[in-house]
Amino acid sequence: MSLKTALNEVNNAVLDLQSADYNTYHRPIQRLSAALHSESLRAITEQLKADVDFDAFVSDSDEGGSMIGSATLNWPKDRQKELGLAIHIIDRGAEDAGWFLNFSHHWYHAGNKFVANIRKVTTAVIIPFARDFKTYVESLRPAHTFAVEPNDFHRVFIVHGHDEAPRETVARFLSTVGLDPVILHEQANKGMTIPEKLAAYANVGFAVVLLTPDDEGRVKDAAEMQFRARQNVILELGYFVGRLGRDRVFALLKGQIEIPSDYVGVAYTAFDEGGGWRQNLALELEAAGYDIDWNKVMRRG
């Protein structure tokens, strides 16, 4: 049973328990206990139980006076200990239906009908437990991690903005010379955030960054607006310079746009309609260790 399936089973068992009566309440408790001890949740469940002493918890609670319904459990403030104690209640109830009836009657008395007591302990203990247990389990799940793979000198990452034409032109050129262009939005998400996805597909040996005039902006006291590349493009430009080194990042500039101040002095190549950028890109790729077929390059010139 997967983790997602086990948590769904916990939720379904609690839903069934909410609508159960005196004759049917025991089965949902058994299902709930079984789900908590399924393979994907067992280690967490057993650890939470091991961290608390259920019998001491009960004996240290307020038994109340002679008045029925006056007994009160002294729940700890620690949320994990609360979870562990609730699991003890569920497990004992699953093992012994009579114990669960007596426990709910004594500590969660809501009248002379047993079903009223069952529903009170369900509302006060088991429903909050299911909610908080899921949150706790999800907090333990690791964030996406990715194996560090060697840079693939057959792949080239293309960083781009909103202008699709240059992106497609560069991708076609790379494919023609036998390389594999990597465009982020064309890759599978696999539940990743954008930064996680970028890191997952960045095991390339080279990146082409297309600086196209997609945005406008100006410094505070300037009168005129200037064309700028998208912020994500500038961010990814810096990312690949840091990851691969400046000599493995090829910046293609389309039109008159503002250059990032920290990158002034670095050579940019103009994205010219005549295609002269192709030879410059091929030279940089070859210098970076890529195997370039110049016959294919020149046919695209």
- Residue numbers of the chain with a pLDDT score lower than 70: 1, 64-70, 142-150, 260-267, 300-301
Q: What's the CA gap between 155 and 174, in Å, rounded?
A: 9
- Cβ-contact 212, 257 below 8 angstroms: yes
Two tokens at 160? 């781009």
Q: What's the CA gap between 246 and 250, in Å, rounded?
A: 8
pLDDT at 215: 83
pLDDT at 68: 65
pLDDT at 149: 56
pLDDT at 167: 93
Q: Which CATH number is 155-299's, of 3.30.200.20, 3.40.50.2300, 1.10.10.10, 3.30.9.10?
A: 3.40.50.2300
DSSP letter for each residue of 282-296 = HHHHHHTT----HHH
Each residue of 47-62: pLDDT tens digit? 999 999 999 999 988 7
pLDDT at 66: 59
pLDDT at 148: 47
pLDDT at 67: 59
Residue span(s) of the chain under CATH 3.40.50.2300 come to 155-299
Please tell me whether residue 15 adopts helix, strand or coil conformation: helix
Each residue of 85-144: pLDDT tens digit? 999 999 999 999 999 999 998 888 887 788 899 999 999 999 999 999 999 998 887 655
pLDDT at 261: 62
Q: What is the pTM of this model?
A: 0.51
- Cβ-contact 237, 270 below 8 angstroms: no
